[in-house]
Amino acid sequence: MRLIVNTTLVLGLLILSNFTGKVSEPVSMIGKVVNDFSLKNVDTKNVSLSSYKNAKGFIVVFTCNHCPFAKLYPKRLNDLNTKYKPLGVPLLAINPTDAAIYEEEVFDMMQKKANSAKFNFPYLQDDTQTVGKNFHAEHTPQAFVIWKVNNNWVVKYSGAIDDNGQHPELATPFIAKAVDNLLMQQTVLLPETQSFGCKIIYKN
């Protein structure tokens, strides 16, 4: 138990070391409509929500290369996309981190990350941070489930991917539960949780 506590403490300190932005009140996005976007994928092709003609919804995850907490999740993101893309709910990962602050976030490093982690989903560069701002994303990683309602993309879930970064076998799968609720045409039972990770620093 002591080893787990100490490891968690170290991870927390690493995350806090990345926090240099101003503290702001989180904005609830539940029920809000988000705009379509077009961002460059690591294969150099642009990807938009409208690229997926038959999508019922999307899992949108804001993430990056350098954040210690984000580094715990590539396999889980692959697993989510493997499970839900065939059901009409693909996963899109978006990197909104300012590469002028973190050189690990430049496009070629994103390509290397996607290759080394064997991403089976698009990894998109939000270099203007427009999409991150549209979602009011605060951390990497932070996840959203958006659903098509009357031809609009409506936020149905916002927050953490799950509640245990280091031990996925013990985690409550928030994203999976939300998507399962929506696929069964049910209300999302837990629509909002607290995201944890490195603070997204937005350009002025």
Residue 204 lies in a domain: no
> Nearest Cα to 60, choosing from 2, 143, 181, 123?
143
Q: What mean pLDDT do residues 181-193 have?
A: 97
Three-class DSSP labels, the chain: CHHHHHHHHHHHHHHHHCCCCCCCCCCCCCCCEECCCEEEECCCCEEEHHHCCCCCEEEEEECCCCCCCHHHCHHHHHHHHHHHHHHCCCEEEEECCCCCCCHHHCHHHHHHHHHHCCCCCCEEECCCCHHHHHHCCCEECEEEEEEEECCEEEEEEEECCCCCCCCHHHCCCHHHHHHHHHHCCCCCCCCECCCCCEECCCCC
Name the pairing type of β-strands 152-159 and 142-149.
Answer: antiparallel
Residue 31 lies in a domain: yes
Half-sphere exposure of residue 187, counting CA atoms within 13 Å on the CB side? 5
For the stretch 16-48, pLDDT in tens is: 444 433 444 567 889 999 999 999 999 999 999
Residue-level pLDDT at 204 = 74
For the stretch 81-114, pLDDT in tens is: 999 999 999 999 999 999 999 999 999 999 999 9
Determine the angle formed by the axes of helices 74-84 and 174-183, rounding to 10 degrees. Answer: 10
Residue 134 lies in a domain: yes
Domain of residue 55, CATH code:
3.40.30.10
Residue 70 lies in a domain: yes
Name the pairing type of β-strands 38-41 and 46-48.
Answer: antiparallel
- Name the residue range of residue 140's domain: 2-199
If you average pLDDT over every residue of the chain, what do you get? 89
Residue 87 lies in a domain: yes
Specify the pTM: 0.87
Q: Domains in the chain: how many in total?
A: 1
